[in-house]
Every structure is written in C-alpha cells, then in structure tokens.
Amino acid sequence: MSRPLPRTVVAAIDASKILGIRVGARSDHRFTGVWPIVVGGRVFVRSWTQKPGGWYQTLLDDPIAILQVGTRQVSVRAVRARGPTLFAAIEDAYSRKYPTPGSQKYVRGFRTKRRRAGTIEFVRRTAGRRSR
C-alpha cells in the first residue's frame, strides 16, 4: 500500500504553481519544473513530452525522485496513476489551478490520451525497500 506524503508537504505543493523534480536515484538529472496537482490529498503530475531521457521516462525505469518544495527537498517514489474518474478529477484540478490564457494550451493538452496515460502520483518513499 502506498503511503501518502505528509500533509504539510502536500499543502505546500498545492499552493505552488511549479514544482522542482530530480528523478532517478541512479541518474544525473537536474531539477526540472513540473506543474503539480493535488486531488484528494494526493500529488500528481503529467508529462508534456514524454521524450526518451526525460524525467517521465527516467521515472518509469527508476521511480525514486526528489521534490523541491520551497527550500525543502523530499524523497518520493513515483507510481503510475490509473482510472478515468481519477483522470477527470486531475483534469478539473488543472483547469482550476492554471486558468490563465497562456496556460490553456497545456491544460487542454493534458487531456489527451497519451498524456493521461503519463499521469504520475508521488508517494512517500519507503525506506529500505525498492518497489516498482
């Protein structure tokens, strides 16, 4: 069973428009900005490009990541999210959180089948155990 992130971390992520993520315990990735969404106290992101070598593809191979939340760094594990009801709630959350005209291209684009399938949830990393 996945353990949710601490409420204080979730609240800070929910309040921010962008989240820094460094992916892969064995990678040399730098922090990349992603658009986070909180639904039901759970943190989700979607990849725009899903390109080889990018953060999304790296997480599929190595689900360990570090989130940069303000000045804090939080170790997390990425889990692929599934389900049409959850996906619809995530899309509604994107629409509410990113309402500006410049954001609309991305909000609409996050509704495509390919990007829906690329939905990631971040959960608390369980120490001493590596899950996929």
| Ordered per-residue pLDDT tens for the chain, 132 residues | 578 899 999 999 999 999 999 998 766 778 999 999 999 999 999 999 999 888 999 999 999 999 999 899 999 999 999 999 999 999 999 999 999 999 999 999 999 999 999 999 999 987 654 444
Partner residues linked to 32 by β-bridges: 21
Pairwise CA distance, residues 44 & 80, whole Å:
9
Domain 7-124 has CATH 2.30.110.10: yes
Domain boundaries, the chain: 7-124
Q: Please report the pLDDT score of residue 132 as a whole number.
A: 41
CB 120 within 8 A of CB 54: no
Q: Please report the pLDDT score of residue 24 as a whole number.
A: 80
Q: Please report the pLDDT score of residue 130 as a whole number.
A: 46
Name the H helices within the chain: 7-15, 55-61, 84-97, 104-109, 113-117
